[in-house]
Amino acid sequence: MSFKKVIGIILLKGSVIFGSDLIRELNIDIRPDFMSVSSYGNERESTREVKIIKDLDANIQGKDVIIVEDIIDSGHTLKKVIDLLQLRNPKSLKVCTLLNKPSRREVDVFVDYVGRDIENLFIFGYGLDLDQRYRNIKHIEIFES
């Protein structure tokens, strides 16, 4: 059986649960790798300053790559990751997100695969955190202050 080889870049920490579930369901030879990026620090609003905390282990030059994201809000973090990875000359680069907040978009980013568009809500669970807690909740909750 022939499978297409893909590098799946799971963005830590929020995407690890979704990314793990996703790669188990795909019928392709997907090799997971991880990046840790931050634009929130310990805040609930993005600082717009994106920091690479952990870079990839794999060389993606000439490879098919899919970025696995938990939620896309303003787009700043994803844009920075896309720009950085494009400099490494992948064969192809696609984006998959569990959740998408198009009403919050400040930066134009194209998302190839969207699980669900959502309103401007602050959510947590299923990998998404509330002050670095509750990532282990099996479902998604809406935070109501």
* Residues acting as catalytic residues: 73
Give the Cα separation of 140 and 50 in Å (integer).
Answer: 25
70 burial class (0-12, 13-18, 19+ CB within 10 angstroms)? buried
Q: What angle do CA 2, 9, 52 make, to 5 degrees?
A: 160
Closest alpha carbon to 66 in 11, 12, 118 = 11
Give the Cα separation of 120 and 143 in Å (integer).
Answer: 11
